[in-house]
């Protein structure tokens, strides 16, 4: 899949030029991000964790805008995992409210910037108002030709793989699919990311060196960049460093 050129058309936002050291012809088509460190950022400043999450939203808006301007076709972010429900109920409730308020506030800009937004994960347990807003946002941007923005919400990589296996098994039992014909492409067609190319680059902030049940299938050959920067401090400079690191790699995909 080839992504279209994605340059912002919203005159209210400054177009960010590509840093001179980056090669536009060697940019990744798809970036995945584990946005880690909101709580630690807040704690270091003596602030509630909720303030860290709010600051993290601003970093995400900046990152999406930069990726769009710099010609990256898709951005997939880990917003809320299946394991995050184990956090204190006050924090979970705050995050649900934050998702809803941000989406409601930013939908107009998403449409202006031609962003195509999608939500990946099991959305059933989410609050009804949030699910309604998610559907409205996906429908309203479905024909946009700019950057694909995938928000992994109540997402878990293992659960996604089990779900795909169950769907293939159901099709086989019904006689709709010969099990011997199941290959990587057929399996991938049942994943939440079926309409996307796999990420070329995974960025993880806060210095943690693990993928935390994120896109287990899709990251098979992604380059991985870990930065000690906490997510609310992620900006144009840290994104550029990640992209420079990516462009310094030789991707062999198992070859010589």
Catalytic site positions: 36, 84
Alpha helices (H) in 70-123, listed in sequence order: 89-112
Owner of token pair 């990311």: 193
Task: Report d(CA 67, CA 239) in Å as an integer.
Answer: 9
Which residues, at least 6 apart from 85, have a Cβ–Cβ distance to it below 8 Å?
92, 125, 154
* Sequence-ordered strand ranges (E) for the chain: 30-34, 74-81, 116-120, 148-155, 201-204, 223-226
d(CA 178, CA 162): 19
Say if CB 32 and CB 76 are below 8 A apart.
yes
């Amino acid at each position: 899949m080839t992504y279209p050129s994605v340059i912002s058309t919203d005159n209210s936002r400054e177009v960010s030029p590509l840093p001179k050291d980056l090669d536009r012809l060697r940019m990744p088509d798809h970036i995945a991000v584990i946005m880690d460190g909101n709580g630690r950022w807040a704690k270091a400043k003596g602030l509630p964790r909720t303030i860290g999450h709010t600051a993290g939203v601003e970093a995400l808006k900046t990152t999406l805008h930069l990726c769009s301007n710099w010609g990256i076709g898709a951005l997939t972010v880990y917003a809320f995992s299946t394991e995050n429900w184990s956090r204190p109920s006050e924090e979970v409730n705050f995050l649900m409210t934050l998702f809803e308020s941000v989406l409601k506030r930013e939908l107009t800009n998403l449409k202006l910037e031609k962003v195509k937004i999608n939500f990946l994960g099991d959305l059933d347990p989410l609050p009804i108002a949030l699910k309604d807003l998610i559907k409205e946002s996906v429908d309203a941007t479905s024909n946009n030709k700019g950057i694909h923005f995938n928000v992994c919400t109540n997402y878990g990589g293992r659960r996604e793989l089990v779900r795909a296996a169950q769907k293939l098994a159901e099709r086989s039992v019904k006689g709709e699919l010969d099990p011997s014909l199941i290959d990587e492409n057929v399996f991938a067609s049942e994943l939440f990311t079926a309409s996307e190319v796999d990420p070329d680059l995974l960025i993880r902030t806060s210095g943690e060196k693990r993928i935390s049940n994120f896109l287990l299938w899709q990251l098979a050959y992604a380059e991985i960049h870990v930065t000690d920067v906490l997510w609310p401090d992620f900006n144009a400079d840290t994104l550029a460093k990640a992209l420079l690191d990516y462009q310094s790699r030789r991707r062999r995909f198992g070859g010589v």
